[in-house]
């Protein structure tokens, strides 16, 4: 597995506010933001706005897409320089909160509209 393979998957993930460009095309994730250790993938991502309402959702969509396509564990985090990084770390590390948000993303059709695998 290579970073380019992961980027190809992420080219099919879209910010809910900008569904005509992928998160890769928008520069939210680049090759430098991906770390592969053994069989675990770590991805740091950025946002389009300082107070993006989909900040956690984008991270979960990244995780969902990679796990669905590759079947490998993925850890996502908001890039450290972002003002919401601490809050998002708490959300993304809480399995119950993540599952609730993933359920809502499916319920409202956001996951299907923004993750086009």
Q: Which homologous superfamily does the CATH classification assign to the domain defined by 3-114? A: Fe-S cluster assembly (FSCA) (3.30.300.130)
The predicted model gives 16-44 an average pLDDT of 93
CA distance 72 to 35: 13
Write out the two tokens for 26.
Answer: 């928008």
Q: Write down the pLDDT at residue 75.
A: 92
> 15: part of which helix (H) or strand (E)?
strand 14-15
Q: Is the pTM of this model over 0.85?
A: yes
The predicted model gives 7-36 an average pLDDT of 95
Q: Which residue has the higher pLDDT, 85 or 6?
A: 6
Q: Which residue has the higher pLDDT, 92 or 41?
A: 41
- 44-67 pLDDT, tens digit per residue, is 999 888 777 888 899 999 999 999
Q: Write down the pLDDT at residue 16.
A: 92
Domain ranges of the chain: 3-114
Indicate if the pLDDT at residue 96 is higher than 80. Answer: yes
| Contact assessment for residue 84 and residue 61, using Cβ atoms and an 8 Å cutoff | no
For residue 44, the number of C-alpha atoms closer than 13 Å in the C-beta half-sphere is 9
């Amino acid at each position: 597995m290579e970073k380019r393979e992961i980027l190809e998957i992420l080219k099919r993930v879209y910010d809910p506010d900008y569904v005509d460009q992928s998160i890769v095309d928008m520069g939210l994730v680049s090759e430098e933001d991906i770390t592969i250790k053994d069989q675990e993938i770590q991805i740091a991502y950025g946002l389009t706005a300082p107070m993006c309402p989909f900040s956690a959702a984008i991270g979960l969509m990244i995780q969902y897409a990679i796990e669905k396509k590759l079947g490998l564990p993925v850890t996502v985090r908001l890039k450290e320089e972002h003002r919401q990084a601490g809050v998002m770390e708490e959300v993304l590390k809480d399995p119950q909160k993540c599952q609730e948000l993933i359920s809502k993303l499916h319920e409202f059709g956001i996951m299907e509209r923004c993750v086009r695998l």
